[in-house]
Amino acid sequence: MFELSAEGKTAVKKELARYEAKESAIIPSLYIAQKENKGWINAEVIQHLSQVMDIPESRINEVFKFYTMFNQKEVGKYHVQVCTNISCALNGGRELANHLCKELDVHFDEVSKDGRFTVSRVECLGSCGTAPMMQVNEQYFENLTPESAMNTLRAMK
Ligand code: FES
């Protein structure tokens, strides 16, 4: 059964106090919960948030299912999101994403056998001038080549 830590609950309450309409706190609270649930969100997490926030599960689910930054499936310790939108695609983003899957021996959106990596293709992450790029957890890596991206990932413990 998922439960937020004491710090997590305090952080959610702080978000609730910040807004006039408590629904406005759903996105930041989903971020908090996702972080505490190893990078993804399931029905138990939604149920718990619903109790803590006193918002119906259906309202939280609407937000959760709409935004792609919330993961509906388990992810590896490092969630590698490779942008394959126009600027990145023109600069090798799709090939980069395929290369990472091959090197890490994992299919898109699945967890590698060692539990460390999930590679996903995502839409524009707002870093088009430094394409191709990837986001790993909360950090951006830009102007990548297949080699530099793999070196970055190999250095992650
Ligand atoms: S197209 Fe890749 S960051 Fe915008």
Q: What is the pLDDT of residue 33?
A: 98
pLDDT at 154 over 90: yes
Structure tokens at 64: 């959760």
Q: Which of 68, 82, 88, 95 to mutate to test the pocket of ligand 1 (most atoms within 8 A of CB)?
A: 88
Q: What is the pLDDT of residue 97?
A: 98
131 Cα nearest atom in ligand 1: 2
Structure tokens at 130: 């430094």
- Give me the mean pLDDT over the 101-116 stretch: 97
Q: Which of 83, 123, 130 to mutate to test the pocket of ligand 1 (most atoms within 8 A of CB)?
A: 83
Residues lining ligand 1, Cβ inside 6 A: 83, 85-88, 124-128, 131, 133
Long-range residue pairs from 101-107, CB within 8 A, at least 24 positions apart, any chain: 103/150, 104/153
Contact predicate 134/96, CB 8 Å: yes
Percent share of the chain, pLDDT over 70: 100
Rounded Cα distance between 30 and 87, Å, is: 29
Confidence bin at 157 (pLDDT 50/70/90): confident
Tens of pLDDT, residues 49-77 = 999 999 999 999 999 999 988 999 999 99
Q: What is the pLDDT of residue 61?
A: 98
- Give me the mean pLDDT over the 45-49 stretch: 98
- Give me the mean pLDDT over the 115-133 stretch: 97
Q: What is the pLDDT of residue 68?
A: 87
Domains, in order of start, for the chain: 6-66 (no CATH), 78-154 (3.40.30.10)
Place of tokens 């138990």: 44
Rounded Cα distance between 60 and 46, Å, is: 7
Place of tokens 């399931």: 42
53-73: b (≥16 Cβ within 10 Å) or e? bebeeeebbebbeeeeebbee
